[in-house]
Structure formats: structure tokens, C-alpha cells
């Protein structure tokens, strides 16, 4: 198991260029299956989730090259439509290949994703929407959602109850869909399935995350006709996406993690390629006493003193405070001045980091979807990453703790951060990796 050692008490100071967006590139890789011609993606992050996605694509018959941060995909010879469990268990966003394969070859067979460490994560909205588009989908072990009692299960692990999904898209057509909840993945699956279909598809209460806009921009550059206005998306179907060269934007969650790292360590961080989509976090950081200076692509943030705890923060779909930054925020509040409540509204199991923070001296009381965090001086300990963002949060706690902390289970973190140790070192932290 990989681990990270961090010496606390050193304020971060430095500049950083943020890796390409994980949640942006995963649906775009699935969308690279559609249409014709090579797709070239620049600033494609070198992370576990991308590696596994490219493996799935190779097995489907795509030709894939990577040279540094540039990935090229040629999907012209894809005929395979079965995604094996072996790959899908490692990456939950493999569910996006359902829409992409239906769009491309009108057939898809893939494992039904199970619950995971951060919540049950059903795909009912994906399936309902694709059925409204005319897909016939059979579910093996339908309705078998059960909480996995093993709290240490890997985030991407498929639960034992899951079977296969078999989908036929022969009679698919455009449709008017209203999502009950603005699910990011369901919105992406609808777009992937609808781009090449005859007729118009309208999605009401669609997700508004910036990654949805990136997917639409990528497909529109390839000739698709997709428009988004607030939570309404219109897709004029029947286009065949063509070749494109596209540059991935900076990852807003990685950006947010490093801004919160500056807040945790009372440091100063300059982001050289700020992605501009973090208003909810910037508002909060100012309320916590931080100084923000923004010029074009650059953002300078400094927290000259101990952060003041905000009284109440709740997670919400974009443009609300992102659930993916909830654990890193909790780590900052654990060492902040005062007490505050965090309410998690998106994923039910996202307070698993709290138990590890308590091992570092944090004072956290959980009551249902609310966590009350009272700031105090954290102390070093050996803790274990409970999931991707939770692992990063523990690094933020270690930056402000007395002594040297060890974070084990860094494999989780590598699914979404190219190299957390490299980045923190660049910002002046004392960090070592161990195997
Ligand atoms: C995506 C992001 C993830 C982020 C999340 C919310 C990727 C690869 N992952 O995940 O980092 O935390 O958005 O911003 O982009 N739900 C249902 N039924 C469904 C689908 C979702 O009940 O069919 C529920 C989920 O269990 C969850 C909530 O809706 O409670 C949000 O899920 P969703 O927006 O779909 O997130 P993901 O696309 O899985």
C-alpha cells in the first residue's frame, strides 16, 4: 500500500499549474467513441481513472496513443460492445459507455455498477432516461441494491449483488426528458446517446456542472448541435461527430484542494491556470478570512492567519458548493478558529473522512447528513485514505498538524490527482512517498 508522509506546520508558498480535469475528460473519452476521425486531447491528466478508461477503450477496439499529456483516440474500428467486469469494477464512470455504445453501435453490455464508499450511487436516472430515448435495457439482478457492510471496500468496487446490463438501441429516437435530480452522469449519458439519434432531445433539470459544458463544447466542435441554457439542454440529433483537437481545462476540484491546502497551512498559493468555476469556494474562503487576487488566468490566494470557521456550509449541485470538496473543507475546519456545520446533500456516505480526522485530534460530531466541526490544534498520526477526496483531505490535515503524519492507501488519491506529493512539494511542503 502506498503512503505519504507529511511534516506539518509549514505554510505553503508557491505557484502551481493545475492538471487537466478528471471529471471533464472521462465523459469526453467516452464521447470519443462516437462518429468518425481521430480525436486528440491535450492536457489529459495522467491519473488512475484515465488509465483504466483508456484500457476499456482499447478492449472495445479503439486505437489509443499517449505522448505525455496528449492522448489520441481512433475509434473507427470499434465493433465490440461488451465491457467486462474486470475493467468496470475499477472505474465507476464506465457507466458512461452505456450511452456512448448505444449511440455508436446501438448495443451495449456492461456490468451494473454497485454501491461504493461514498454512497449507494444507483443508476436509475441513467436507465429511465435512456429508456425514454427508446433503448430496451434488461437488468440482471434488478433491484438488488444493498448496503455493503464492509466500510473499507474500494470506492470503485462493484458489490457482489450486481449483474450485467444488456441494452438494445435499435429503435432509439429523440425524446423530452425531465430528470428528477440533476445527475451529472445521467445528463452525460443522455447527451452521449442522443447526439447521433434522429430527432431532437430535450433534457430538463439537467446538471449544470462545467464538465457538462465541456462535453457539449467538445461534441459541438466535432459538428454536433447541442445548446444549454441553465438547466435545459437541447440536442438536435442526427449528426456524425468528426475529428477534433481539444484541450482539457484545469481540474476545478484539484484547484479547490490546493486553495484549501493554503487555507489549512496559513499559506499563499498562486494558481497559474485558474478554471474560473469555483465561485462557491472563493466566497467561502473570503468569509474564512482569506485574501483573493485574480488577474486573467491567474489567482493568488493567501490565508495569513488561522481560518475562521463558517457557521454553515452545505453541498449542492453546481453552482453550489461541490460535494467533492466537502472532505478537504472538513479538514480545514478541523483546525480552524471556531465551530461550523457542514451538511452533505449529495452523497450519503461522505463523512468517512471524519473518523480519520478524529484520529488526528479533530472534534467532529456527526448527526445524519450534518457534521459539526469544532476547530482545534491537530496532532500527527497514521491515518488511512477512505476514498479519493478523503485521502487529499487527510493531507490537508497533516499540513497543519504537529509533527509528521503518515497517510496510507494513497492508491485512491492517484485515481484523481496526478501526483499530490509532487504538487505539495512544489508549494513548499515537506512530503515523502513510501511504498
Ligand atoms: C459526478 C462526479 C463526482 C461528483 C458528482 C456530483 C464524475 C466522473 N464524477 O458523479 O466526482 O461528486 O458528479 O457532483 O464526473 N443518483 C441517483 N440515481 C442516478 C444517478 C445519481 O439517485 O441514476 C444520485 C447519486 O446517488 C448521488 C446524486 O444523485 O446521490 C449525484 O450523483 P451524480 O450527479 O449522478 O454523480 P456522478 O455522475 O456519479
- Counting ligand 1 atoms within 8 A of each CB, the residue from 185, 314, 388, 412 with the most, and so the one to mutate, is 185
Which residue owns the Cα nearest ligand 1 atom 36? Answer: 184
Q: Which residues does ligand 1 sit against, CB inside 6 Å?
A: 23, 26, 93, 119-126, 181, 183-186, 207, 211, 323-324, 346-347
Measure 54 CA to ligand 1 centroid, in angstroms: 21
Which DSSP string do the residues of 188-253 spell out, in sequence order? HHHHHHHTTSSSEEEEES----HHHHHHHHHHHHTT-EEEEETTEEEEE-------EEEEPPBPHH
**Residuewise pLDDT in 10s, the chain (435 residues):** 799 999 999 999 999 999 999 999 999 999 999 999 899 999 999 999 999 999 999 999 999 999 999 999 999 999 999 998 877 878 889 999 999 999 999 999 999 876 567 667 789 999 999 999 999 999 986 544 444 444 444 443 434 446 899 999 999 999 999 999 999 999 999 999 999 999 999 999 999 999 999 999 999 999 999 999 999 999 999 999 999 999 999 999 999 999 999 999 999 999 999 999 999 999 999 999 999 999 999 999 999 999 999 999 999 999 999 999 999 999 999 999 999 999 999 998 789 999 999 999 999 999 999 999 999 999 999 999 999 999 999 999 999 999 999 999 999 999 999 999 999 999 999 999 988
User: What's the pTM?
Assistant: 0.95
Which DSSP string do the residues of 283-313 spell out, in sequence order? HHHHHTT-EEEEETTEEEEE--SPPBPPSEE
Q: How far apart are CA 182 and CA 203, in angstroms?
A: 10
Which residue owns the Cα nearest ligand 1 atom 38? Answer: 185
Characterize the bridge pairing of strands 370-374 and 339-343: antiparallel
Give the catalytic positions in this structure: 116
Which residue owns the Cα nearest ligand 1 atom 24? Answer: 121
Q: How far apart are CA 288 and CA 306, in angstroms?
A: 9
Closest atom of ligand 1 to 207 CA is 34
Amino acid at each position: 500500500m502506498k503512503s505519504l508522509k507529511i511534516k506539518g506546520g509549514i505554510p505553503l508558498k508557491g505557484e502551481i499549474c493545475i492538471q487537466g480535469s478528471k471529471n471533464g475528460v472521462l465523459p469526453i473519452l467516452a464521447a470519443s467513441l462516437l462518429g468518425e476521425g481521430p480525436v486528440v486531447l491535450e492536457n489529459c491528466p495522467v491519473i488512475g481513472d484515465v488509465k483504466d478508461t483508456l484500457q476499456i477503450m482499447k478492449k472495445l477496439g479503439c486505437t489509443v496513443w499517449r505522448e505525455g499529456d496528449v492522448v489520441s483516440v481512433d475509434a473507427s474500428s470499434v465493433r465490440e460492445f461488451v465491457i467486462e467486469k474486470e475493467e468496470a469494477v475499477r472505474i465507476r464512470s464506465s457507466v458512461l459507455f452505456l450511452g456512448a455504445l448505444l449511440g455508436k453501435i446501438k448495443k451495449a453490455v456492461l456490468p451494473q455498477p454497485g454501491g461504493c464508499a461514498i454512497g449507494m450511487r444507483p443508476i436509475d436516472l441513467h436507465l429511465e432516461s435512456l429508456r425514454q430515448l427508446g433503448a430496451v435495457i434488461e437488468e440482471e439482478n434488478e433491484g438488488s441494491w444493498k448496503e455493503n457492510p464492509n466500510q473499507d471496500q474500494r470506492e470503485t468496487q462493484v458489490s457482489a449483488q450486481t449483474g450485467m446490463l444488456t441494452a438494445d438501441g435499435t429503435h432509439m429516437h429523440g425524446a423530452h426528458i425531465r430528470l428528477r435530480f440533476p445527475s451529472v452522469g445521467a445528463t452525460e449519458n443522455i447527451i452521449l446517446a442522443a447526439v447521433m439519434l434522429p430527432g431532437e432531445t430535450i433534457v430538463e433539470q439537467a446538471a449544470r456542472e462545467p464538465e457538462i459544458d465541456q462535453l457539449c463544447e467538445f461534441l459541438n466542435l466535432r459538428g454536433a448541435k447541442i445548446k444549454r441554457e441553465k438547466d435545459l439542454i437541447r440536442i438536435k440529433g442526427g449528426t456524425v461527430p468528426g475529428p477534433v483537437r481539444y484541450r482539457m481545462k484545469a481540474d476545478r476540484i484539484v484547484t479547490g484542494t490546493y486553495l484549501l491546502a493554503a487555507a489549512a497551512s496559513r499559506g499563499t498559493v498562486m494558481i497559474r491556470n485558474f478554471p474560473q468555476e469555483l465561485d462557491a469556494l472563493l466566497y467561502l474562503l473570503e468569509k474564512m478570512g482569506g485574501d483573493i487576487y485574480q488577474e486573467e488566468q491567474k489567482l493568488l490566494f493567501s490565508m495569513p492567519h488561522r481560518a475562521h470557521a463558517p457557521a454553515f456550509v452545505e453541498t449542492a449541485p453546481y453552482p453550489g458548493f461541490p460535494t467533492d470538496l466537502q472532505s478537504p473543507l472538513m479538514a480545514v475546519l478541523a483546525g480552524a478558529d471556531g465551530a461550523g456545520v457542514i451538511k452533505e446533500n449529495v452523497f450519503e456516505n461522505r463523512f468517512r473522512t471524519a473518523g480519520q480526522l478524529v484520529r488526528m485530534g479533530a472534534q467532529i460530531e456527526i448527526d445524519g447528513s450534518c457534521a459539526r466541526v469544532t476547530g482545534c490544534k491537530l496532532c500527527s498520526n497514521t491515518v488511512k485514505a477512505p476514498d479519493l477526496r478523503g485521502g487529499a483531505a487527510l493531507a490537508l490535515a497533516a499540513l497543519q498538524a504537529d509533527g509528521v503524519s503518515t497517510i496510507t492507501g494513497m492508491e485512491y488519491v492517484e485515481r484523481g490527482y496526478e501526483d499530490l506529493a509532487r504538487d505539495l512539494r512544489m508549494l513548499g511542503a515537506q512530503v515523502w512517498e513510501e511504498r
